[in-house]
Amino acid sequence: MYENSKTPKFLMTTKSIRIKDIAKLAGVSEGTVDRVLHNRGNVSIIALNKVNSVLNEIHYKPNLLARSLGRARNFKVSVLIPEPKTDAYWEEVNSGIIQASAEWENYGVTIDPFYYVHDGELSLELIANRSLNAKPDGMVIAPIFYPQALHVFSRLQELGLPYVLFNTNIPESKPLSFIGQDLFQSGMLAGQLMSIGNITREDILILHIGESIKDSVYLMEKEKGFREFYEKNVHHPVSITSINLDVNESLFKQNLEDMVKDKKITGIFVSTSKPVSTVAQIIQENSRQGIRLIGYDMLPENKNYLKNGWISFLINQNPKRQVIQGISHMVNHLLFNKHVPCTELFPLEVITQHNVDSYITSGIH
Contact residues for DNA, defined by CB under 7 A: 16, 18-20, 27-32, 34-35, 37-38, 41-44, 46-48, 62-63, 66-67, 69-73
Q: Residue 184 interacts with its own copies (CB under 8 A)?
A: no
- C-alpha 299/C-alpha 274 separation (Å) is 7
Strand partners, 138: 77
Q: How far is the CB of 352 from its own copies (least distance, A)?
A: 6
Q: Which does 34 bind (CB under 5 to 8 A by kind): DNA, its own copies, none?
A: DNA
Name the nearest CA neighbour of 125 among 136, 135, 112, 114.
Answer: 114
Q: Which long-range contacts (CB under 8 A, 24 or more apart) does 122-130 make?
A: 122/83, 123/148, 124/80, 124/148, 124/149, 124/152, 125/151, 125/152, 127/80, 128/80, 128/152, 128/155, 128/156, 129/155
How many chain residues bind its own copies (CB under 8 A)?
72
Q: Which does 211 bind (CB under 5 to 8 A by kind): DNA, its own copies, none?
A: none
How far is C-alpha 138 from the geometric centre of its chain's CA atoms?
17
Q: Which does 20 bind (CB under 5 to 8 A by kind): its own copies, DNA, none?
A: DNA
E-assigned strand segments in 28-174: 75-82, 109-116, 138-141, 163-166
Report CA Rg, the chain: 26
Q: Judged by CB, which is closer to DNA: 4, or 13? A: 13
Residues 74-113 close enough to bind its own copies by CB under 8 A: 74, 83-86, 94, 98, 101, 105-108, 110-113
Q: Residue 123 interacts with its own copies (CB under 8 A)?
A: no
Which residues have a Cβ under 8 Å from the Cβ of 38 and sit 6 or more positions away?
A: none
Q: Which does 43 bind (CB under 5 to 8 A by kind): its own copies, DNA, none?
A: DNA
Binding mask 26-65 for its own copies (x = CB under 8 A): -----------------------------------xxxxx
E-assigned strand segments in the chain: 75-82, 109-116, 138-141, 163-166, 177-180, 202-210, 238-246, 267-270, 292-296, 313-316, 343-345, 349-351
SS3 274: coil
Q: How far is the CB of 325 from DNA (least distance, A)?
A: 24
- Residue of the chain from 123, 185, 281, 284 that contacts its own copies (CB under 8 A): 185
- C-alpha 296/C-alpha 226 separation (Å) is 14
Q: Residue 237 interacts with its own copies (CB under 8 A)?
A: no
Q: How far is the CB of 212 from its own copies (least distance, A)?
A: 16
Q: Judged by CB, which is closer to its own copies: 22, or 28? A: 22
- Stretch touching its own copies by CB under 8 A, among 25-33, 41-49, 140-148, 344-352: 344-352
Q: How far is the CB of 266 from its own copies (least distance, A)?
A: 11
Q: Residue 290 interacts with its own copies (CB under 8 A)?
A: no
Sheet containing 75-82, strands listed edge to edge, beginning at the edge strand earlier in sequence: 109-116, 75-82, 138-141, 163-166, 177-180, 343-345
Q: How far is the CB of 69 from DNA (least distance, A)?
A: 4
Q: How far is the CB of 210 from DNA (least distance, A)?
A: 45
Q: Residue 129 interacts with its own copies (CB under 8 A)?
A: no
